[in-house]
Structure 1
Amino acid sequence: MTQLDVVIMGQTYKLACKEGEEATLLQAVAYLDEKMCVIRDAGKIKGNDRIAVMAALGIAAEFLSTRSPDGPLSGMSLAEVKAQIVAMHTVIDSALTPQENLF
């Protein structure tokens, strides 16, 4: 494990990551810092904890709306893929239910 000192919204944090993953962690820190600073600078939300929650919600929304570029799921967002999986489970579960009564 490697430890890095990073700064998010002016506050220093000591974070640990696996060897070789330092660059990815630093990119994530920079992205989060940017999102949080934009929210803070807008002045509508006060308190670092509230700013962090709003940034996390924004990042989660971005993640869920990301679309797959290739393959059978191309053009679908992660949320749409999850909905399709739930629908498939429902169909499979309803098809298997009558078989359970046989035993």
Structure 2
Amino acid sequence: MSNKQVEVNIAGQAYRFAIAAENEAALLEAVSLVDGRMTRLKSGGGAKGVERVAVMAAISLASDLLAAQRKQQEEGAIPVDAVRARIRELNERADEALRQYAHVGTDAPAARS
């Protein structure tokens, strides 16, 4: 698996990344997000200098990420392990019930000669 050279433009600066080909779409999506945030901050007039805008964009994006994580925690993430354990338990109970009642309805009438 070889790396691919990808050149992108963020806030008027060219950057080159060496990434695996399958990660290119994710990189381009991230670049678009960062570039958009930096452009918005820069055009707002509140920040001057690429480094300052980059730091402000990073903090803004981190804040968005943390807010999304808090929201997910408040809404209650699905406890996957608990769900799997419950499914196993229900399967075991169903299997036991099938074993207990497997003979019901299987008594065929005696064949007449």
TM-score (normalised: structure 2): 0.60
**Corresponding position of 1:29:** 31
> Identity percentage over the alignment?
38
Q: CA–CA distance in 1 between the matches of 2:25 and 2:38?
A: 20
- Amino acid corresponding to residue 45 of structure 1 in structure 2: A
Deviation per CA, 1:47-92, whole angstroms, max 9, x where unpaired? Answer: 10000000000000001111337414xxxxxxxxxxxxxxxxxxxx
Q: 1:2 offset after TM fit, Å?
A: 1.6
- Please give the residue correspondences for 1:56-71 in structure 2 after superposition, counting only pairs within 5 Å: 56-66=58-68, 67-68=71-72, 70-71=77-78
Matched pairs, number: 73
The question of 1:6 aligning with 2:2 is answered no
Cα RMSD (Å) of the superposition? 1.8
Distance 1:16 1:35 in 2: 23
| TM superposition outliers: structure 1 runs of 4+ over 4 Å | none
TM-score normalised by L of structure 1: 0.65
- Structure 2 stretches lacking a partner, 5+ long: 80-113
- 2:52 counterpart residue number: 50
The structure number with the bigger radius of gyration is: 2
Contiguous gaps of at least 5 residues in structure 1: 73-103
